[in-house]
Amino acid sequence: MKPINIGLLGLGTVGGGTVSVLKRNAGEITRRAGREIQIRAASARDLERARICDTEGIQLTTRSFDIVNDPDIDIIVELIGGISPAKELVLAALDNGKHVVTANKALIALHGNEIFAKAREKGLMVAFEAAVAGGIPIIKAIREGLAGNTVEWLAGIINGTCNFILTEMREKGRDFADVLSEAQALGYAEADPTFDVEGIDAAHKLTILASIAFGIPLQFDKVYVEGITGITAMDVAYAEALGYRIKLLGIARRAPEGIELRVHPTLIPERRLIANVNGVMNAVLVKGDAVGPTLYYGAGAGAEPTASSVVADIIDVVRTLTSDPENRVPHLAFQPGAIAEMAILPITEVETAYYLRLSAADQPGVLADVTRILANRGISIEAILQKEPPPGESQLPVILLTHKVRERELNAAIALIEALPTIGGPVKRIRMETLG
């Protein structure tokens, strides 16, 4: 089948990440989409500037409208940001019969009603997963996964830059301006970082979330917005002393009288999961009437996390161009003809770390025997904890944490440990994953 041609507008943080992900995962993406996806052309302002991605094989230009008017291009991916010329480019792309993928929350929040009307008129898709919470597929989760619910409220940490600043202030006592400069260098901040720290970017995202959660028009001008520039290190420390964390939250709630839409710094009890979302990570809590509270967590900004959402949208669009309309999303995510036979590992071949609990006689040399058995099998120990024997008992509990080991090796070591006369009963094993 003929490849799909992409025209990329913008080759900065997200554009660069998108090129890298599309190139690196080309094989896997083709299996998912059902046909090859090629980046035909890309635009930027300065073609001499060094890029974070490999642009070989891509026609580069400063003339974005040439890409939008190129009849060989099927999908326009707008990653320039801001309103103009992004809006004109997106509308021209739709006029030319091209589907659009964008990460531009300002554009969708302010002009989405007009853009979607044009797309409907032309029978085209405008996909914008990357516009909210970077790499978290929150749009898909609300639009598809929670489609059976009445959404009661949602609350989110939806600006990575602010969360990064607040986290660094709390954990390291760093200065606001210094952390903001780092967020800019890391590519998290908007072109105008006041959009981040004054809460405007979060309000753009909240506008979009509220619209898909409640079925209301996009209405950015109705959002209450307060940023984090007034938050001092002292506030952060006092909140912490009282058992709270300060987070910039975007909150949308269905109240009896209407919908609440607000962005502001918020104290959250530190025991709440969302209070422990740190750095550039984002999280969105959505309360549906049927499902109850659900939490979505992941990187909210940065080149490849955001590209993850952009590329997912591109694949969605390609699937609609490729698949039988009654079966646009393949049941198993991959195209049926591309399901691959791959070996499934037996548990004995799996490598993981372990928590081991054993019951040992309270006498010299017992631990030395155990650690020797593990060492002889190449199993290294991360931590040992020896507890007092329970009242009236002579055996004491010993807890060992191991580094990663193949389960087959651990089974052999456990058999030897259980055979020691000083060990009472079976060794308790729980697998550990750092999930890092």
Instruction: Tell whether residue 76 is a contact of ligand NDP (CB under 6 A).
Output: no
Distance CA 35, CA 1 (A): 6
23 counts as catalytic:
no
Check residue 279 for interaction with ligand NDP (CB under 6 A).
Answer: no
Catalytic residue among 87, 98, 205, 247: 205
Work out the angle at residue 183's Cα, subtended by the Cα atoms of residues 179 and 184, and round it to the nearest 5 degrees.
115
Quick one: which of 24, 27, 45, 289 contacts ligand NDP (CB under 6 A)? 45
- In angstroms, rounded to a whole number, what is the distance separating the alpha carbons of residues 311 and 319? 12
Closest separation in Å from C-beta 399 to ligand NDP: 42
Site membership for ligand NDP, residue 14 (CB under 6 A)? yes
424: contact with ligand NDP by CB under 6 A: no
Which amino acid is present at 74? D
Does residue 197 touch ligand NDP according to CB under 6 A?
Answer: no
Please check whether residue 314 is in contact with residue 75, taking contact to mean a CB–CB distance below 8 angstroms: yes
Written as one string, the DSSP assignment of 99-118 is: EEEE--HHHHHHHHHHHHHH
Give the residue with the Cβ less far from ligand NDP, 85 or 145. Answer: 85
Stretch that binds ligand NDP, among 183-191, 222-230, 318-326, 415-423 (CB under 6 A): 183-191
Residue 161 interacting partner from ligand NDP, ligand HSE, none (CB closer than 5 to 8 Å by kind): ligand HSE
Question: 166 or 400: whose CB is closer to ligand HSE?
Answer: 166
Among 8, 39, 68, 80, binds ligand NDP (CB under 6 A): 80
Q: Which of 79, 135, 108 is nearest to 280 (CA)?
A: 135
Contacts 24+ apart (CB under 8 A), 85-88: 86/9, 87/111, 87/115
- CA-nearest of 161, 159, 99, 130 to 21 is 130
Q: Nearest 5°: CA angle at 258, between 249 and 217?
A: 75
- Candidates 66-74, 76-84, 364-372, 428-436; binding stretch for ligand NDP (CB under 6 A): 76-84
Q: Residue 272 phi/psi, 5° resolution?
A: -70, 140
The binder of 13, among ligand NDP, ligand HSE, none, by C-beta within 5 to 8 A per type, is ligand NDP
Alpha-carbon span 273 to 227, nearest angstrom: 22
Residue whose token pair is 């975007």: 250
Separation CA 369–CA 375 (nearest Å): 10
Work out whether 112 is an interface residue with ligand NDP (CB under 6 A). no
Q: Which stretch binds ligand NDP (CB under 6 A): 31-39, 75-83, 383-391, 393-401?
A: 75-83
Please provide residue 238's backbone torsions phi and psi, each rounded to the nearest 5 degrees: -65, -45
* 10 in contact with ligand NDP (CB under 6 A): yes
Q: Of 13 and 43, which has the nearer Cβ to ligand HSE?
A: 13
Residues that bind ligand HSE (CB under 6 A): 134, 159-161, 188-190, 196, 201, 300-301
Distance between CA 282 and CA 277 in Å, rounded?
A: 7
Q: Between 165 and 396, name the residue whose CB sits nearer to ligand HSE.
A: 165
Q: Which of 191, 329, 347, 385 binds ligand NDP (CB under 6 A)?
A: 191
8 A C-beta contact, residue 28 and residue 45: no
Give the separation between CA 69 and CA 190, rounded to whole angstroms.
28
11 scored as a contact of ligand NDP (CB under 6 A): yes
Query: Quick one: 200 or 396, whose CB is closer to ligand NDP?
Result: 200
Check binding of 302 to ligand NDP (CB under 6 A): yes
Q: Nearer to ligand HSE by C-beta: 188 or 220?
A: 188
CB of 23 to ligand NDP, least distance (A): 17
Contact 297, 281 (CB under 8 A): yes
Tokens linked to 318: 């390609």
Q: How far is CA 278 from CA 12, 165, 236, 282, in A?
A: 25, 10, 14, 8
| Residue with smaller CB distance to ligand NDP, 84 or 363 | 84
Q: Does 104 bind ligand NDP (CB under 6 A)?
A: yes
If one counts every other C-beta atom within 10 angstroms of the C-beta of residue 254, the result is 18
Question: Which of ligand NDP, ligand HSE, none has residue 296 at its interface (CB below 5 to 8 Å by kind)?
Answer: none
Q: Which residue is nearest to ligand NDP (CB)?
A: 12
Give the binding site for ligand NDP (CB under 6 A): 10-15, 43-46, 49, 64, 79-81, 85, 103-105, 130, 134, 187-188, 190-191, 301-302, 306
Q: Which residues are catalytic?
A: 205
